[in-house]
Structures are given as structure tokens and as C-alpha cells.
Structure 1
Amino acid sequence: MAITQTDTPLKIAIVGSGYMGGGIAQVLALAGHQVVLADVSAEVAEKSRQRLLSESDAFVADELFEAGSTKIIDEHLTAAESIEAAVADADFIEEAVPEKLELKREILARVSAAARPEAIIASNTSTISIGAMADAVDRPERFIGVHFSNPSPFIPGVEVIPHDGTAEDTIGKAEQVVQSTGKETARIKDVTGFVLNRLQYTLFEEATRLVDEGVATVEDIDTIVRTTFGFRLPFFGPFAIADMAGLDVYAFCYDSLHAGFPDRFETPKLLADLVEAGKLGTKSGAGFLNVPSDATPELVAYRNKAYVKMQKLLDELGPAPLSY
């Protein structure tokens, strides 16, 4: 992980110092922010701080963090006596307690009561609607979802989720905090599961259904996912992949799926409308994306180069230490 320290360091409190909260704290400390960890007690927070320093040493040894990272984290990360002490003068507060609505509401109320009125308060919830927690926060216009993914030091994407009452200024500042760490943000509407987990759990549900139906084993399904469409996903999202495959091809495939599983598959209207308009993806110069036809060779060259490099990386790493 490269070290890129921000020019405008903030005082940041992380409430919940477990695996997710701790990893977020590492990322923000490495970016140069002054980060305070809080948990159920000062002892737990300090124990987590020491664990994060030890983890950083291991990451440096494995060349996952740059040399000098542990020193930066040590200088920028402290443990608080209490949640209230941690948030008292913070500019930005990230709640990262377990995924239980009532617990989050209880902690957010404590945070809100002790924080400065202008402090931004964020939740790292994976699936709980931000609006379902907003009324636990005094001045809910400063409340927002900021969802890092596991393991947070190494996953570059972060969902930023405003609820209906979140102020535009709050959204912008939350995005700036995340982007100061070198991560990418995506602004998501407040629905249960957001984008990441609605997609992830949909895939998982279909995978388990295939096992239940005896179509393939767990191992074979994992093999197919990681060696086919999963191989593309580090470089392209589903809409770019569809455009390159051809949206007319996708429509034909939906016809087949609908014939086989009429209750579960139907051509999406968004896709059908594009095909009807003759927008078939890169082959026609327009689709979900707007890649001009004369730019298609460059895109295809990038795609092919990316896939070859990915295979070389996988060959270099060797197979994951899994056992089915």
C-alpha cells in the first residue's frame, strides 16, 4: 500500500476498533490524519492499537505496506479512554461497531451527544439503511454512510451513502476524507444493501441455488466465477462488459434464460430499450457507455493486455491455499 499523506489532516475518531474499524484507522492514519480509536473500554482500544501496529509490521515485511508505515501509524494513531473522549474534538467520526441496528443507534446517539455540532458522523454499515439510523443523530444532516470493504487497507472502493436528509456539504466532505487515502468513492442512494452487497449477495444466492440443484459443485462454481467473468471484474464493471460483448447478444441470452427460468429471468427494460434503439455497445459506438467505434481497437487492446497481465500475476502468486 503506497503512502500518500494529505495536505489537510483532520482529527478523526473511529468508534469500534475491531477488524473493520482497525483497518479503516490504519488507512486514515497512513494518509496523515490524526486518528483516535475508541471501543468498549480504554484497554480494548489500546490493545487494538497495538494489534494494528503489529499487523503493520507484518504488512511491511510482506511488502504490502511501504517501509516506514508502522512509524507513521504509531505517530498518528492513539487510543481513547472512552467513546465520548474520542469524538469530543473530532472533525470526522466513523462508527464501525457490529452490524446490529439497535447497537448502532445506541452508539450513534452517544457519539452525537458528545461530538461537536459541525462534526461529520458516518457509519460503516454494510447493509442497514442509513435513514434507519439517522434520527439517532442530532442534526442528521451531518450523518452519512461511508462503507469501506474488507480488508479495508487493501480494497480500493468505498460506498458513500447519503440519506434523504444528508446535506450536500456533508457528502462532499465525506468523499474528500475517503479520497485523501487514495481510495475511490461511489455515491450510492440509500437502499438496504446499497450496491456492493445487493450484487454480491445476488451472486451468492444464485451460486447456492446451482449447488442445491446439482448443476455443479462448490469448487467448480468458484472455479468458473474466478476464471471467467470474475477474471474481467478488476478492470471492467458489468455495463462495460455487456457493451463489449454486444447488447444484442445479451438480449438473445436473456431470451434463453427466460425460456428456461421464466419466473427468474426477464430481459431488463434498460437493456431492451438500448437494443431497440440500435445501441448495441462498442460494435455500434453507443450503449451503456459511449465508446466511439474508432476507439474500440484501443479498448480491445487494453482489455487483452489487462487479462494477460492478470494471468501472469496469478501464475506468480500461485493457487490460493484453499481446501474444498
Structure 2
Amino acid sequence: MTNAEITSLEGRRFAVVGSGYMGGGIAQVLALGGATVALADISEEIAVKNYERLLTESDQFVADGLFPAGATELLRVNLRPAASIEEAVADAEFIEEAVPEILAIKHETLARISAAARPDAVIGSNTSTISIATLAEAVQGPERFLGVHYSNPAPFIPGVEIIGHAGTSAATIGTARGLVEAGGKHTASVADVTGFVLNRLQYALFHEAAQVVEAGIATPEDVDTLVRTTFGFRLPFFGPFAIADMAGLDVYNFCYASLQTGFPERFATPKILTDLTDAGKLGTKTGGGFLDVPAERLPELIAYRNRAYVGMQKLLDELGPAPIN
């Protein structure tokens, strides 16, 4: 089964093992998408308690306009607490493990899941830090196992990392991507390396920000202001490669050289950037770069960019400042 063949979650049977904040949010996403979802934890009592919490939470989200009208009623129909892990996964075609980030707990849980699940069930882990290959050691049928990493809060963050290990089948990756996308999310397939991609990028930014503060260059408040109001302002619309293409890869190449006067090792020019600039592929202005946007589409792209940024500022003005201070 490929992701192109999956258009709806209606009638599909899922299980989420781990009913806490992340697991509960994932269960809400899947159930609101139309799937029948069994929610399990270390005991039926905990699963029931968290199920009730999710319904109460949904009522508040509806009242706040964050969930559509009727969401809580739909959750009552599609989501249920299970008596045990084994009962939850018995007839599920997709199972998401979302227990604490402790290897022993995950191994024990994944062993129970894979022993009780259908042999053709896809099993995903919501781990954000642990090697998928290491987790797969506890799974019967490791070819059906992969990372399916939702972000917090799961109902409202649209991106999901799909992480296969060396033994994950292509069919498993395709099915997982299709099911997650049918639930209204965007997927990106990445390799099983330390930090995957999401956290590798997120922590790289935090690491540099922390060094700026430690060196007395700026305060945490000023760093956050710059990130929010400059390059971070672009990120809801464009990723780093699109931004680089629009800025000009020759400009990026020059900026790396400038940064190297102060930080020669930390800001070594990436080879993929040098290769493109040496080939005369400088981004949108030449019609070739990382994303190969045709030059004739540049006016359309710039017009979209400008509308997007004005729209973002209007949204921020409407919301007002975050209640941090």
C-alpha cells in the first residue's frame, strides 16, 4: 500500500499506547480524522482517566474555537479507553507507541505490542531521541516498524517526521505516510540518525543562541525578538533552502566567508552550497538552486512572499503578544 492510495481514515482501526499528553493528542488527531482509536496505558484506570481528560480538553478547545463544533461528540464515538495494551492492539492496523523516553520502557512496551498485534500491523514510535534501529530490536517483524514523530501539541502542529530504520520496508513507510497525511498532517521522511532532522535543527539553533547569550552579545529576550521578527518570521512559509534560493546562493557563499573570519570552523561553507555556486546555480535569480524554481516564476513567488508576510503580521497583531512576561 502506498500513501497515494490512502485518502481517508474512515473505518480504519488504530491504537495509541501511552495516553499522556503526547499520546492523548495523537489519539485526538486520529479519532477526529475518522479512525476508530483504542487508547491504552499501563492500566485501564489510567487509560480511562486520560480518556476523560481528553474529552474535557476537547470541550475547552471547541469553546475556544480550536476544535470544530461536534469534536467532543466525535471523540466519544471514535475514541475509547482499552482494558490493556494487548486488547487495544489486537485488531489495529496502525499502532503508535507514545510511552516515556526511557529505552527499557519502550522496549518492554514494543515487545508487548508486537506480540499481540496483527502480523501486518504497522507499528510506529513517537520517540524524538532514541534510534529507531535500537527500538526495533524489541519488535517482532521489525520491517513493519518505524518512527512516527508528532510534535507537541500534536493536535495543532502539522508536521510529522517519518523515520525508517535500515530494515523498515518501503511499503511500511508508504503506508505510515499515507495514514498520517489522511489524518491532516504533513510528513517528511528522514533517515535514522542521531536527532533525526527536527531536533537536530532545533537544537542547532538553540546551541548558537545559548552561546550568544553566554558571550554577553545579547540577552535571551533580544535573541528571541530577533528570531521571531526576522528569519523566524519567514519560516511558516519557507524552509531554509527556499529562503537561501530567494536570497541568492552567491550571497550565502559570501556570508559564510564573512562568518569564517570570526568562526572559521563553526561556519565552514557547506560543500553542497559551493558546488551549486561554482556551477552558476545561484537560486531563483538564475532559475536553478536547491529547489530549481524557474526564473519566470520569480515575480509570482515574490508576490506570494509579500502577501504572506503582511498576513503574518496581521495575525500577530490580532493575537497580541505572547503572555510570557
Fold shared by both chains (TM-score > 0.5): yes
Match of 2:316 among 311, 314, 317: 314
Task: Determine the C-alpha separation between the residues in 2 that align with 1:9 and 1:249.
Answer: 52
Alignment-mate amino acid for residue 257 of structure 1: L
- 1:70 matched to 2:72? The reply is yes
Task: Determine the C-alpha separation between the residues in 1 that align with 2:298 and 2:265.
Answer: 36
- 1:129 matched to 2:122? The reply is no
**Runs of 4+ displaced beyond 2 Å:** 5-9
Contact 2:285–2:295 (CA under 8 A) maintained in structure 1: yes
Alignment-mate amino acid for residue 96 of structure 1: A
Deviations 1:47-88 (A, max 9, x none): 100010011111110111110011001110000111111111
- 1:186 matched to 2:188? The reply is yes
Match of 2:227 among 222, 225, 228: 225
Match of 2:203 among 201, 204, 210: 201
Match of 1:176 among 148, 170, 178: 178
The residue aligned with 2:297 is 295
Alignment-mate amino acid for residue 198 of structure 1: R
Task: Determine the C-alpha separation between the residues in 1 that align with 2:289 and 2:178.
Answer: 31
Contact 2:10–2:33 (CA under 8 A) maintained in structure 1: no
Task: Determine the C-alpha separation between the residues in 1 that align with 2:264 and 2:294.
Answer: 35
1:19-98 paired onto structure 2 within 5 Å: 19-98=21-100
Match of 1:264 among 263, 266, 271: 266
Deviation (angstroms), 1:116: 1.4
Alignment-mate amino acid for residue 20 of structure 1: M
Instruction: Name the SS for the 2:191 alignment partner.
Output: coil
Q: Which moves more between the two structures, 257-266 or 300-309?
A: 257-266
Q: Aligned-residue CA RMSD in angstroms?
A: 1.0
Unaligned runs of at least 5 residues, structure 1: none
The residue aligned with 2:3 is none
Alignment-mate amino acid for residue 193 of structure 1: G
Deviations 1:75-103 (A, max 9, x none): 10000111111111111110001111221
Task: Determine the C-alpha separation between the residues in 2 that align with 1:196 and 1:26.
Answer: 22
Contact 2:9–2:183 (CA under 8 A) maintained in structure 1: no
Match of 1:152 among 151, 154, 159: 154
Deviation (angstroms), 1:104: 0.8
Task: Determine the C-alpha separation between the residues in 2 that align with 1:127 and 1:174.
Answer: 19
Alignment-mate amino acid for residue 116 of structure 1: R
Q: Aligned pair count?
A: 319
The residue aligned with 2:253 is 251
1:233-248 paired onto structure 2 within 5 Å: 233-248=235-250
Deviation (angstroms), 1:130: 0.5
TM-score (norm 1): 0.97
Identity %: 67
Deviation (angstroms), 1:259: 1.2
Task: Determine the C-alpha separation between the residues in 1 that align with 2:188 and 2:10.
Answer: 22
Contact 2:159–2:186 (CA under 8 A) maintained in structure 1: yes
Contact 2:9–2:35 (CA under 8 A) maintained in structure 1: no
TM-score (norm 2): 0.96
Alignment-mate amino acid for residue 284 of structure 1: T
Deviations 1:164-189 (A, max 9, x none): 10111111111111011111111111
Instruction: Name the SS for the 2:146 alignment partner.
Output: strand
Unaligned runs of at least 5 residues, structure 2: 1-6
Deviation (angstroms), 1:263: 2.5
Instruction: Name the SS for the 2:83 alignment partner.
Output: coil
Alignment-mate amino acid for residue 245 of structure 2: D
Task: Determine the C-alpha separation between the residues in 2 that align with 1:319 and 1:205.
Answer: 25
Deviation (angstroms), 1:9: 2.5
Instruction: Name the SS for the 2:111 alignment partner.
Output: helix
Deviation (angstroms), 1:118: 1.2
